[in-house]
Structure 1
Amino acid sequence: MNMSHTERLILSNQYEILAKLNPEKAAAYQRASTIVERGYCLQILELEKSFGHLDLATCQEVIDTLEMHHALAISWGNLDAAAQAEVNASRLTFNGYSRSQERELADYVCFLLEVDKRFPELPCPCDELSSDIAMRDKYQRMLAAWRQCPRQYKLSIQEISKVLAA
């Protein structure tokens, strides 16, 4: 992160203000202020990581994953009881992303749900929305299978099963 002296001063001052506004995090903000003020490049890179960055394709992938789960639930709900019995409804639940391995993806989901108020049908609060294992690869395989279906919101039980098994 290349910053001018003025930008470093402004950011350092903002960290100082945050330290006063959030006493429980004051030590972390003081540390960040010192890092920025003194220009410690290695630690500035550490601070930069906390800003996060998701490119457009990754953001769209997360939105598509949520949309796919919505489509699975809609399609399953439109099936008759006999067909529904073939797939347990709990398998349609969006499990989230692993907070330990996919933090930026999990944070983006929370942003979409809590800030943008998208996908209101997802019944899970963000603080509980975290998978124990990394899910991105699984969701990518599911998306590939879902995209091959001709009617993505009118899936048959076979198509639902295929997407879930991907």
Structure 2
Amino acid sequence: MQFTKKERLNLINQYKILSKLYPEDSEHYDELREILEDGYEVFYPQISEWVSEDMPEKEGKFVLDVLDLYRAIEDYKRISKDQEIIDNYYSYFRGFDGNNEGQYMQFARFLINKQNKFSEQKDYLRKNDNLNSHAPMVDIYQKMLSKWTDIGKPWNLDAQDINDIFNI
């Protein structure tokens, strides 16, 4: 990571301000300020280690599509009370694997918990360990979405559509 002198100066000033605003964290901010003041490039990654990598738009759209599919499934379950569908392993959104699909999981949490979108998923947060499936799910969701697309992406799913989506 590289910083221009102007960028370093801006960050130095920000860390001075933060150090005064948050005295309980001043030691941390002072250390970061000193790293920048003295130009210790080897420690520059510490400056941004808490900032996540950008999530590509395609991956964000994928998470939104998965949650849209599960919204359609939830609508069917709520109306039909179809026990066979309700009992299916995939009948509720299981989340994403925290070890291998962390960015997907974080985005789903952001959508559900911060933006209050897909609020029907909040009922499952205990059941799916706060959206951590503990197993890779992206490939499974891709197959489910492919099947949903093949049948025309209907919002009003019936039992046969849902079973076809689950039996990928």
Both structures adopt the same fold (TM-score exceeding 0.5)? yes
Alignment of 1:44-63 (within 5 A): 44-45=44-45, 48=48, 50-52=50-52, 53-63=54-64
The residue number in structure 1 matching 2:138 is: 136
Where in structure 2 are the equivalents of 1:42-121 lying within 5 Å? 43-45=43-45, 48=48, 50-52=50-52, 53-79=54-80, 84-87=82-85, 88=87, 91-121=90-120
User: 1:26 & 1:119 partners in 2: Cα distance?
Assistant: 39
Where in structure 1 are there 5+ consecutive unaligned residues? none
Aligned partner letter, 1:86: E
Identity of aligned residues (%): 23
Does structure 2 retain, via aligned residues, the 8 Å contact 1:98–1:131?
Answer: yes
Distance apart, 1:46 and its partner CA: 6.6
RMSD: 3.1
Alpha-carbon distance in 2 for matches of 1:42, 1:162:
54
8 A Cα contact 2:66 2:141, kept in partner: yes
Q: TM-score, normalization: structure 2?
A: 0.74
Q: Is the 8 A contact 1:149 1:155 kept in 2?
A: no
Q: Paired residues, what number?
A: 162
Look at both structures and tell me which one has the larger radius of gyration over its CA atoms: 2
**Which whole-Å CA distance do the structure 2 matches of 1:45 and 1:109 have between them?**
27
Corresponding residue of 1:152: 154
Unaligned runs of 5+ in 2: none
Matches within 5 A, 1:32-47: 32-41=32-41, 43-45=43-45
